[in-house]
Amino acid sequence: MKVRITEYLDIDLEAERWCCNRCGHDLGEARESYKRGCLVRERDPREIHFPIGPSKEFNFSFDPEWMRIVEFYCPGCAVMVENEYLPPGHPLTWDIQLDIDKLKKKHGVKSRRRARKPSAKTSTTGRKPRPAARARAGSKTAAR
């Protein structure tokens, strides 16, 4: 089941993946930023906000040393998914962070996460867990 999040972004709730609303292209894990699955273009702000007048300092445009325009495109159909104004070198922002579990519950989609098995430490037998059992339990924790 796909749920529309923005004009250009859907979430496939069963797969927990971001998708392009226009072409369905996979844009990555829904629990991470969709921007990681997009093509990114950094632009000089003077290409969009043309300087007006003869002054290099006061011209109604942005100084490219202080600000860049970062555009995000779908790799499948090249629709512009998002853009933002950031200082040069600024890490990408994570603008949409959804509670996927609640969204799935709201739309009646079962969670793909399996229930945790009881660990060896909480065994009801009262016996001390064997070393092999502890190692297995430890490796499961490390894999998460």
Q: What residues make contact with Zn ion under the rule CB under 5 A?
A: 20, 22-23, 25, 74, 76-77
Shortest Cβ 132–Zn ion spacing (Å): 49
Torsion of CA 21, 25, 31, 37, to 10 degrees: -120
Q: In what order do the strands lie in the sheet with 2-4?
A: 2-4, 9-12, 17-20, 26-29
Closer by beta carbon to Zn ion, 11 or else 120: 11
Which residue bears the tokens 């043309």? 50
SS3 label, residue 118: coil
Shortest Cβ 86–Zn ion spacing (Å): 23
Closer by beta carbon to Zn ion, 22 or else 49: 22
Closer by beta carbon to Zn ion, 76 or else 129: 76
Shortest Cβ 19–Zn ion spacing (Å): 8
